[in-house]
Amino acid sequence: MRLDDISRVNLTTLPTPLEEAPRLAAKLGLRKLLIKRDDCTTLAGGGNKARKLEYLMADALARGANVILTDGGPQSNHARMTAGAARKVGIDECILFLGGPRFDRFYGNLLLDVVLGADIRFMEDASVKDMEKAMIAEAEKLIRNGKSPYVIPIGGSTPLGSLGYVCGIRELAEQLSEEDKAPLVFVPVGSAGTMAGCVLGLKLFLPEAELIGISVARKSKPLRKIAAEHATEAAKLIGADESFSPDDLVINDEYYGTFYGVPTECGNKAILTAARTEGLILDPVYTGKAMSGLIDLAKTGAIDNDRTVIFIHTGGAPGLNAFEDQFRNLAKFESVDYKKESKQ
Ligand SMILES: Cc1ncc(COP(=O)(O)O)c(C=O)c1O
């Protein structure tokens, strides 16, 4: 296997911590719950994309790229981290095609995009197809102008990017004690690249584990197809003799609500539960929805209590700041009139 022969740049300090969450476990009736803290990658506010970008940026540099292009929603963690990664490897031009609802404030990830100096192209209500078309057109224009662009598809989800999570799972396997080596692993699924890497990584390094993806945006069937294809292609890249079919994969699509990026009531409740048991910060778009799946499955007895449960915390907290409207009614807040009292 050639995993360590594929070029990779260093974008984050690794390993990320693996922490036990005993108070949350007790609340859910689980024997043992571990959180893989990939929200703590050290690149530009952290999150899962650092691992994928280590491979994608190495490829960009090898091809002599001097402009990076990618796409996502206005609150995309992937876009923010790509802007950070470009800076960290010394590529000063990063163009972000952001499609979604109109916004009137630069907050959350968008604010970080601005701080990182990304060139933002806003495409109101655009689909992923619209954004990919616009990116390709821009890349062609850049080539005509003598530049060398490198296009990263939405979420950084390519077989090459997925290798980040093959390494992530190898790292997790090294952190686990023998008694925890047949865990039930939960991961949020957006563009499915993280899932693809986990599928291959678990097959190679933790073969007794079981993986449950929780979709944050779409029905299970197309996601399982993408993840199986990427995992199979990723296996070829590293010379591993593994292939996957969509039927091998489990992605639960009962917890994403109506649409990508639209919070759910149970996702918001999961955010509060994690914060108020473990001081753990999740977000409404990815990790809150995924945790709501874990919580519901635990509470309804669908999780075998003898198994260690692992939640891969993929990050997203910078985006939480864009959802003040969901939580502000909970504020325990009062203004203390200390100036009047000190005058008496
Ligand atoms: C915080 C967070 N969690 C999970 C995901 C999902 O990862 P993937 O797109 O690889 O499925 C993303 C993707 O942007 C993310 O930003």
245 is catalytic: no
Query: Residue 341 has what pLDDT?
Result: 65
Distances (CA, A) of 19 to 25, 33, 196, 198: 12, 9, 23, 19
Which residues line the pocket of ligand 1, CB cutoff 6 A?
Answer: 47-48, 77-78, 155, 157, 188-195, 286-287, 314-316
Q: Give the atom of ligand 1 at the shortest distance from the alpha carbon of 154.
A: 9
And the tokens for 10? 């260093």
Q: Which pLDDT score, from 0 to 100, does residue 306 have? A: 85
Structure letter (DSSP) for residue 17: P
Kindly report the backbone phi and psi dihedral angles of residue 210, in degrees, each rounded to the nearest multiple of 5, phi listed first. -125, 135
Look-up: residue for tokens 């997790």? Answer: 172
State which ligand 1 atom lies nearest to the alpha carbon of 155.
Answer: 9
Q: Which residues pair with 121 in a beta bridge?
A: 97
Strands of the 184-189 sheet, one edge to the other: 18-20, 33-37, 309-313, 184-189, 210-215, 251-252
Of 313, 328, 344, 330, nearest to 46 (Cα)?
313
> Residue 32 CA to chain centroid, in angstroms?
23
3-class SS of residue 50: helix
Q: Tell me the domains of the chain and their CATH numbers.
A: 3-47+158-329 (3.40.50.1100), 49-156 (3.40.50.1100)
CB 243 within 8 A of CB 264: no
233 C-alpha to ligand 1 centroid (Å): 20
Give all strands (DSSP E) within the chain, no chain letters.
Answer: 18-20, 33-37, 67-72, 93-100, 119-124, 149-152, 184-189, 210-215, 251-252, 309-313
CA–centroid distance, residue 46 to ligand 1 (Å): 12
| pLDDT tens per residue across span 93-128 | 999 999 999 888 999 999 999 999 999 999 999 999
**pLDDT in the model for residue 1:** 82
Digit-by-digit pLDDT tens for the chain (344 residues) are 899 999 999 999 999 999 999 999 999 999 999 999 999 999 999 999 999 999 999 999 999 999 999 999 999 999 999 999 999 999 999 999 999 998 889 999 999 999 999 999 999 999 999 999 999 999 999 999 999 999 999 999 999 999 999 999 999 999 999 999 999 999 999 999 999 999 999 999 999 999 999 999 999 999 999 999 999 999 999 999 999 999 999 999 999 999 999 999 999 999 999 999 999 999 999 999 999 999 999 999 999 988 999 999 999 999 999 999 999 999 999 999 998 766 66
**Nearest atom (ligand 1) to Cα of 192:** 11
Strands (E), 153-284: 184-189, 210-215, 251-252
Interatomic CA distance for residues 11 and 223, integer angstroms: 27
Please tell me the distance from the alpha carbon of residue 313 to that of residue 281, in angstroms, as a whole number.
9
**Ligand 1 pocket: which of 165, 314, 321 to mutate (most atoms within 8 A of CB):** 314
Instruction: Note the maximum CA span of the chain.
Output: 80
Judged by DSSP in three states, 55 sits in helix
What is the Å distance from ligand 1's center to 291 Cα? 13
pLDDT tens for 163-172 read 999 999 999 9
DSSP for 90-127 reads T--EEEEEEEES--SS--HHHHHHHHTT-EEEEEET--
